[in-house]
Amino acid sequence: MLQHRPHTTVVLAMSADGKIADFRRSPARFGSRVDKAHLEKQIAASDAVLFGAGTLGAYGTTLTVTDPTLVQLRAQGGKPPQPVHIVTTHSANLNPEINFFKQPVRRWLLTTTAGALSWKGRLQTLPSTLETGAKDCSPEFEQILVFETSTREIDISAALKHLATLHITRLVVLGGGELVASLLGLDLIDELWLTVCPLILGGNTAPTPVDGKGFLPNLAPKLQLLEVHTVEQEVFLHYRLQRPAD
């Protein structure tokens, strides 16, 4: 682990012009079966997957490990059939009726104090106090993790360090672009897998793998290309983040 946090890998599919969804932010289903199998393999190799509320809202579900070989490999490694699936959201304004909450996975919520109170408030069971870093639960989430900065934003750096204490050593990030941008800005990403799919989506409001304010060239994160694979019309790019020690 780096900096006492999980080894963190971003896995995303994008169009040839670098969009991870169309301008309506519809579910991105333009990847092939090969790309889906690639994503499942990365998820199977992880202890937990992390994604934002926007990503969850677009799909309504998360991708589970269904390949019997991958399930067996997890069992051989002493891991449960599925990694933990962690939703991160400031407000916790989630629809409890979506299929995600019926899937056979362990679900955790990473949010702020206000988000935790809002989510728990649906059940009319507001706690009187909820300290930063406290763990709580609800019928939908096995754990509610609260980590926030002095400005009441999610303290993602502290959260990842906490995940390491829960024996989560490998974390896969599934988007969206705002989450990836915040992780990059804090130097919390180690690797990226980007699948380039053969279509052009366009749109100046369509999300990209890294949204947010962006980086100036002299401060931009630098990458080292590790692998390139082409399968039919898709290109699979594997990068690692370069750091000053490199």
Instruction: Indicate the pTM of the whole model.
Output: 0.92
| C-alpha span between 42 and 29 (Å, rounded) | 18
Please tell me the predicted confidence (pLDDT) of residue 3: 57
**pLDDT for 243:** 85
Q: What was the pLDDT predicted at 61?
A: 96
Interval 20-46: pLDDT, tens = 999 999 988 999 999 999 999 999 999
Q: pLDDT tens for residues 122-162?
A: 764 444 344 456 566 778 999 999 999 999 999 999 999 99
pLDDT at position 198 is 97
**Which pLDDT score is estimated for 246?**
62
Q: Spell out, as residue ranges, where the chain has pLDDT lower than 70.
A: 1-3, 123-136, 246
The encoded tokens of residue 214 equal: 């962006």
